[in-house]
Amino acid sequence: MLLGTLGLGALGVVAAPALQRGMESFLAGAAERDPTGLTGLLPNGGGFRYYSVTSSVPHKDADNYQLKIDGLVDRPVTYTLADLRAMPQTRMVRDVQCVTGWRVPGTPFEGVRLSRLLDAAGVRSSAGAVRFTCFDGAYSESLTLDQARRADVIVALRMQDKNLSHSHGGPVRLYVAPMYFYKSAKWLSGITVTEDVRAGYWENRGYDIDAWVGKSNGRDDEPTS
Ligand SMILES: Nc1nc2c(c(=O)[nH]1)N[C@H]1C(S)=C(S)[C@@H](COP(=O)(O)O)O[C@H]1N2
Ligand SMILES: [Mo]
């Protein structure tokens, strides 16, 4: 069912003019020739497009999901989904903006503030950045420590007031509200505190490491609580 839908979406993508295919598919090269892996309309997408740089991603749920926090921290830890659900949750309603142009206004995301997880792990003074890895085995992202500690950066368990679906990166994805959506790593499995920012998957292929969505839409206003 999902594969079939993605196949149709990919046909649409192939038929569309090159400009509309989007920078991700343009840059993806080999991945683009694997249409089921890259992009297609989600069944209940509501304007979202499905992105994965790998052609398949293992499914994880409460039984086997783990989020490992390590690197320059005093207390490395591995959380289960139940652990994350038991922590205080933050809900934000912001616009989602992909760098290729599509946008989904007013999308609720809910989860644990990244700053809370970093504080619990005890970030060492030598640290300057945070690297995110994913259980698709390929994608990565990064933020400076200052960016990672913003109140509008969450480890999201829910989107649109439902548990995150597999297609949207469930059970757990990063949500970096003030930045382009490529920062919001899906299928999050690792948070490593590092000295310096390391370029992520798309950043190694030409995207900006600083991915602020412009001041013009107010997304860089950090909430105070
Ligand atoms: N693991 C992983 N995370 C990812 C991506 C990806 O390919 N793999 N694509 C990014 C990009 S470019 C976008 S626009 C969003 C798409 O999220 P969606 O599939 O929930 O719409 O996920 C981001 N996070
Ligand atoms: Mo994107």
How confident is residue 113, by pLDDT bands cut at 50, 70 and 90? very high
CB contact at 8 A, 139 and 38: no
Q: Is residue 82 scored above 70 in pLDDT?
A: yes
How many angstroms is it from 124 CA to the middle of ligand 2? 32
In CATH terms, is domain 59-205 a member of 3.90.420.10?
Answer: yes
**pLDDT for the residue numbered 47:** 83
**106 beta partners:** none
> What is the number of the ligand 1 atom nearest to the C-alpha of 100?
14
Residue nearest to atom 7 of ligand 1 (CA): 52
How confident is residue 157, by pLDDT bands cut at 50, 70 and 90? very high
Q: What angle do CA 87, 91, 97 make, to 5 degrees?
A: 125
How many angstroms is it from 181 CA to the middle of ligand 2? 5
Our answer on whether the CB atom of 200 is closer than 6 Å to any ligand 1 atom is: no
Within 10 angstroms of residue 158's Cβ, the number of other Cβ atoms is: 20
Tens digits of residue pLDDT in 27-66:
443 333 333 444 445 544 568 899 999 999 999 999 999 9
Our answer on whether the CB atom of 186 is closer than 6 Å to any ligand 1 atom is: yes
Rounded percentage of the chain residues whose pLDDT exceeds 90: 68
Our answer on whether the CB atom of 132 is closer than 6 Å to any ligand 1 atom is: no
How many angstroms is it from 73 CA to the middle of ligand 2? 30
> What is the number of the ligand 1 atom nearest to the C-alpha of 53?
7
Q: Is residue 24 scored above 50 in pLDDT?
A: yes
Q: Is the peptide bond before 171 cis (omega within 30 degrees of 0)?
A: yes
Ligand nearest to the CA of 107: 1
How many angstroms is it from 51 CA to the middle of ligand 1? 5
> What is the number of the ligand 1 atom nearest to the C-alpha of 96?
14
3-class SS letters over 143-204: EEHHHHCCCCEEEEEEECCEECCCCCCCCCEEEECCECHHHCCCCEEEEEEECCCCCCCCHH
Residue nearest to atom 12 of ligand 1 (CA): 182
How many angstroms is it from 42 CA to the middle of ligand 2? 14
> What is the number of the ligand 1 atom nearest to the C-alpha of 139?
1
At residue 152, what is the residue type? Answer: D
Query: What's the pTM?
Result: 0.82
